[in-house]
Amino acid sequence: MNVALRDPRIDRPAQTHLGFIDCDVHPFFRTPADFDPFLSQRWREHRQSIGNRSRQGLARTSLYPRMSPGNGMRGDSWPKAGGPPGSDLGLMREQLLDLFDVRYGLLAPLVGGAAAERNVEFGAAMAVAVNEWQCAAFCDPEPRLKASVQITLEHEASALAEIERRAGDARFAQVNIPPRGLEPLGRHRYRRILAACAANGFPISLHLGGTSGHASTGGGWPSFYHEEHPSYVQSMQTLVTSLVCEGVLDEIPDLKVVMVEGGFAWLPALAWRLDKHWKRLKAEVPGLKRAPSEIIREHFWVTTQPMEEPERPEDMLRTIEWIGPERVMFSTDYPHWDQDDPRYAFKVPLPDDWARLVYRENAQALYRLD
């Protein structure tokens, strides 16, 4: 059977988009010294001398270099005054916030290295610094931007302290947790952190990426960025599988999980697979009391970027139906290379009620905005 050809429809925007909530925006420092005002003398010196060290060979960049300069930035987002893409609030307004009349942008700072830092005390200090910096450099001057609480997943005491510190601060919308940690997120060592997030009203957001020290795939380290990029999906799948099978979502019923930049077309088949094999292996997981697909439907959200590109564009509607239109939230991923333009990201028009949910209402409800 032949597969229908793609139809880009670039001349007709799929739907109106203005006033959306962007669930993935990346702020950057102009230089790493931007964090220094928020660090003690000791950690300032440590940052300048030893610096970030994570569980990988290259200290400052990825072993899978991106295909665009700036570790994968869109070519037209470099500020004229200097600094990397995402570091200039003015340009961010021009290219995103004002251009599309964005209601809110959820920040995902992939800077500071707090989560992956092997020196956990330094990591804790950087988490605090990045949280302060988000407010000072972005959220305070630009109230449309909401910060994400950075924590050190592998150091419970400081993670709990930081969650408590930011609880109730309306500038912070969620807690960022790396999807690649030493162990899958459902394991017991992370339980108190997850409980604290839920208790303090924070959804947790797993933004793709991260360095755990484990190979990117279960079959070892791939050679190419072409493989590394989709391998992030596997980390997301492990995350869902672990949280579901370990019974975490029934133990912490208020926990809400947002998977950011992981794509989403993979989620329905994972839910079907979990349902099928859970039936056979129920005895092993007594903490899992209901069908995994039910749990996923209740507790997991996905952001749209990088937009999936089904070979038949209308299959997008099936995918959203399988996941649930109330679980899908639009994101641009500004200013990365593979960011999505809200006018053209969907290659098939969404029904009006779905468009409202995806572009605004789901995020509004989840993050309690407005």
Partner 1 sequence: MIPAGAIDCDIHPAVPSVRDLLPHLEPYWREHVLRRGLERDNFETSAYPPAAPINARPDWKPPAGPPGGSLPAMQAHLLDPVRPAFAICNVIHGAQMIFSEDLSLALCRGINNWLAAEWLDRDDRLRASIVVPPHSPELAAEEIERLAGDRRFVQVLLLAMAEIPLGRRLMWPLYRAAERHGLPIGIHAGSTYRHPLSAGGWGSTYLEDYVSFAQGHAAALNSLLAEGVFQKFPDLRVVLIESGVTWLPASMWRFNKTWRGVRAEIPWLNRLPADIVRERVRLTAQPFDAPPDAASLTTILEQLGSESMLLFATDYPHWHYEGEAALPAGLPPDLVRKITLDNPLATYPRLQQETAR
Partner 2 sequence: MAKHVVATVAEIPPGGRKIVTVRGREIGVFNVDGAFHALINRCPHQGAALCTGAIVSRLEAPVPGEYRLTRPGTMIRCPWHCWEFDIATGQSWCEPDDVKARTYNVSVEPGEALARGPFTAETVPVSVEQDYVVVEV
Tokens 């899992």, located at residue: 288
Is 234 an interacting residue with respect to partner 1 (CB under 8 A)?
yes
**Rounded CA gap, 278 and 288, in Å?**
9
Query: Token digits for 1?
Result: 């059977």
Contacts of 119 (CB under 8 A, 6+ apart): 46, 50, 53
Residue 12 or residue 279: which is nearer to partner 1 going by CB? Answer: 279
* Interaction partner, residue 53 (partner 1, partner 2, none; CB < 5-8 Å by kind): none
Q: In 275-351, which ranges are E strands?
A: 300-303, 328-329
**Rounded CA gap, 78 and 73, in Å?**
8
Question: Measured from the CB of residue 362, what is the shortest distance to partner 1 in angstroms?
Answer: 21
Question: Measured from the CB of residue 16, what is the shortest distance to partner 2 in angstroms?
Answer: 15
Residue 34 or residue 340: which is nearer to partner 2 going by CB? Answer: 340
* Interaction partner, residue 270 (partner 1, partner 2, none; CB < 5-8 Å by kind): partner 1
Beta-bridge partner residues of 151? none
Is 263 an interacting residue with respect to partner 1 (CB under 8 A)?
yes
* Interaction partner, residue 185 (partner 1, partner 2, none; CB < 5-8 Å by kind): partner 1
Alpha helix stretches (DSSP H) within the chain: 41-49, 69-72, 89-92, 120-134, 156-166, 191-199, 225-245, 248-251, 267-280, 292-299, 315-323, 352-356, 362-367
DSSP-based three-state secondary structure for 131: helix
Phi, psi angles (nearest 5°) of residue 162: -70, -35
Is 217 an interacting residue with respect to partner 1 (CB under 8 A)?
yes
**Rounded CA gap, 23 and 332, in Å?**
7
Residue 32 or residue 222: which is nearer to partner 2 going by CB? Answer: 222
- The DSSP line for 26-43 is ----SSGGGGGGGS-HHH
Residues 278-307 that bind partner 1 (CB under 8 A): 278, 280-281, 283-285, 306
Question: Measured from the CB of residue 363, what is the shortest distance to partner 1 in angstroms?
Answer: 23
Q: Which of 75, 182, 289, 365 binds partner 1 (CB under 8 A)?
A: 182
Question: Measured from the CB of residue 305, what is the shortest distance to partner 2 in angstroms?
Answer: 11
Q: Which of 3, 5, 60, 284 binds partner 2 (CB under 8 A)?
A: 5
The closest alpha carbon to 256, from 174, 184, 182, 155, belongs to 174
**Rounded CA gap, 10 and 359, in Å?**
19
Residue 54 or residue 62: which is nearer to partner 2 going by CB? Answer: 62
Is 75 an interacting residue with respect to partner 2 (CB under 8 A)?
yes
Q: Could you tell me how many residues of this chain bind partner 1 (CB under 8 A)?
A: 71
Question: Measured from the CB of residue 70, what is the shortest distance to partner 1 in angstroms?
Answer: 15
Residue 131 or residue 237: which is nearer to partner 1 going by CB? Answer: 237
Give the interface segment with partner 1, choosing from 92-100, 128-136, 212-220, 353-361 (CB under 8 A).
212-220
Residue 31: CB atoms within 10 A of its CB come to 12
Give the interface segment with partner 1, choosing from 127-135, 163-171, 194-202, 260-268 (CB under 8 A).
260-268
Contacts to partner 2 by CB under 8 A: 5-6, 8, 10, 67-68, 74-76, 337-341, 343-345
